[in-house]
Chain A
Amino acid sequence: NAGVTQTPKFQVLKTGQSMTLQCAQDMNHEYMSWYRQDPGMGLRLIHYSVGAGITDQGEVPNGYNVSRSTTEDFPLRLLSAAPSQTSVYFCASSTLAGPSSGANVLTFGAGSRLTVL
C-alpha cells in the first residue's frame, strides 16, 4: 500500500536551474494536487488535476508547470528555480466525488523539501 509517493525527498538547486518533482499514486485517484508549505502561511495550492489531460491553476501557480498524462503520475516542474521557491512541497490525491459524499479525504505524500540558493 504505497499510497502517494514523492521523489526526491530533498533537493538543493541553484537559481535558474530546472527540476521536476515527481508524484505517483497507486490508488486510482482521479484528483491530484500540489501544495507548497511555507512557515506561517499554511499550505497553498499550486496546481491540480481532475483527470488525465486536465490540469488547472491553484492559488500560487507562477513559476510552476504541471501535466497529467496518466492517472497515476502528476509531476511538478520548476523551469527556472528562484529562491522564493524554497519550500516544502506536498502532492495529494483523492477520488472524485460530490460534496455530499462525505470526507473523501485527501491522501498526502511525505513531502519534498526544496532549497534554491
Chain B
Amino acid sequence: AQKITQTQPGMFVQEKEAVTLDCTYDTSDQSYGLFWYKQPSSGEMIFLIYQGSYDEQNATEGRYSLNFQKARKSANLVISASQLGDSAMYFCAMRENTGFQKLVFGTGTRLLVSP
C-alpha cells in the first residue's frame, strides 16, 4: 500500500529565505505521480507542483521546486525567497499507477513565514 510521510509538523522561516519541506513515500509501483498542495488559512486546496516518477528533471514552478530523489523515495518541496503569503499548511500526495487521480496524502507541514 502507498504511504506518504511528512515528518515536520511545523517549520519556521524568515521572509526571503529558502525552506525545504520534507516528504518521503512508499510504493511498489514503478509509475506514479507526486504532488504538493498548499492550504492557506482560508481552507482551499491549491495545487503547487507535480513530479512524475519517470521525469528525469526535477519539477519547477516559479519559486517552487521539487527535489526528487527516486532511490531515496523522497520528494521534498523547496520554496525559494519565502513570502509572508507562503504561511500555510503544505501537503505532499502521491498517485499510484492508475488512470485517475486517486491521491494519498501526507499529514502536512505547517509553514510560518516571519518578517
A residues near B (Cβ < 8 Å) are: 30-31, 33, 35, 40-45, 48, 50, 58-59, 88, 90, 92, 94, 96-100, 102-106, 108, 110-111
Contact = CB atoms under 8 A, between A and B. Distances in A.
Q: Interface residue tally of chain B, by bracket?
A: 20 to 34
Listed residue (B95, B103, B106) with the most chain A CB atoms within 10 angstroms of its CB: B103
A99 B31 contact: yes
Interface of B: 4, 31-33, 35, 43-45, 47, 50, 52, 54, 91, 93, 95, 97-108
B103 A97 contact: no
A102 B100 contact: no
Given A42-B91, A96-B99, A110-B44, 17 more contacts: A31-B101, A33-B102, A40-B107, A42-B4, A42-B105, A43-B103, A43-B105, A45-B103, A92-B101, A99-B99, A100-B54, A103-B35, A103-B50, A104-B101, A106-B101, A106-B103, A108-B45
Given A42-B105, A43-B105, A103-B50, A96 B43 contact: no
B50 A99 contact: no
Contacts of A97: 99-100
